[in-house]
Amino acid sequence: MSVRPSTIRVVVVDDEPIAREGVRRHLVREPGVEIIAECGDGLTAVETIRELAPDLVFLDVQMPGMDGFEVTHAIGIDVMPAVVFVTAYDKYALQAFEVNAVDYLLKPFDSERFQKAFQRARVQIERRTTEAINEKLQALLESMRQQQRHLERLVVKSGGRIFFLPVAEIDWIESADNYVNLHCGRESHLIRETLSGLESKLNPEEFLRVRHSAIVNLKRIKELRPLFKGEYEIVLQNGVKLTSSRRYRNKIMQIL
């Protein structure tokens, strides 16, 4: 039997103050709701969601600098809370949302439509169907990703600040459980993402997975030294040496 939470903790994300006010005005009419934060941009949203771990996020799709989809990528599908997208897309574009059963609010929306979206989110949260929510969100992102270009930059938190890191500056990427370590010259940055998840977003013509735990920027490779049984020692321009595994031999042969 599911346990009804005493309070649903909500974060509202929209770059338009009037839009945030509209969502807030509807939320205060709902019982058992606490608005724990409001964010005016994607970077702040990523930081806030990671720190406060809300139950529900009202997330604007179109924001300058970092849109709603990039926010979900930065946080990670496996830890993303329930999401109601708020968007100005027309009804044809919204078919992607409907097919994947992820709710949305089309601007401008009325009280009846808001309440429907909120109640659907409440049911999902109370039934603790986070896994199902994430699966639907993943399906939505996959459908949208097919229409988007390869990842060009990553959101990185380092030294109390959040910044964009162009993927072209990465030398190689190392797996660290549910995180990846981005090696860039003398610096390295840890972000929450799986290596397979990141690999799927990178341009395969620029980044190559050379073993289970490592991806290399092809432009950073200085030399390939054959070893034994299909393995190679990969020497990068900065002197770092990595060893490929036989499992990825065919991929290395393709670049040769």
Long-range contacts of 159-165 (CB under 8 A, 24+ apart): 162/43, 162/46, 162/47, 165/189
**Structural domain range at position 60:** 8-145
Convert the pLDDT of each residue in 117-148 to its tens digit. 899 888 878 775 555 556 666 666 665 555 55
CATH number for 173 = 2.40.50.1020
Domain match, 17 and 37 both: yes
| Contact present, 207 and 200 (Cβ < 8 Å) | no
Domain match, 15 and 96 both: yes
Domain match, 133 and 170 both: no
User: Would you state the pLDDT for residue 132?
Assistant: 57
- The model's pTM is 0.52
Domain match, 232 and 187 both: yes
Domain match, 161 and 227 both: yes
Report yes or no on 1 lying in a domain.
no
What number of H helices and E strands is found in the chain?
A: 8, 15
Select from 120, 145, 170 the last residue of a domain.
145
pLDDT over 50 at 99, yes or no: no
Domain match, 85 and 169 both: no
CATH number for 61 = 3.40.50.2300
Convert the pLDDT of each residue in 44-89 to its tens digit. 999 999 999 999 999 988 887 788 888 888 888 777 888 888 887 6
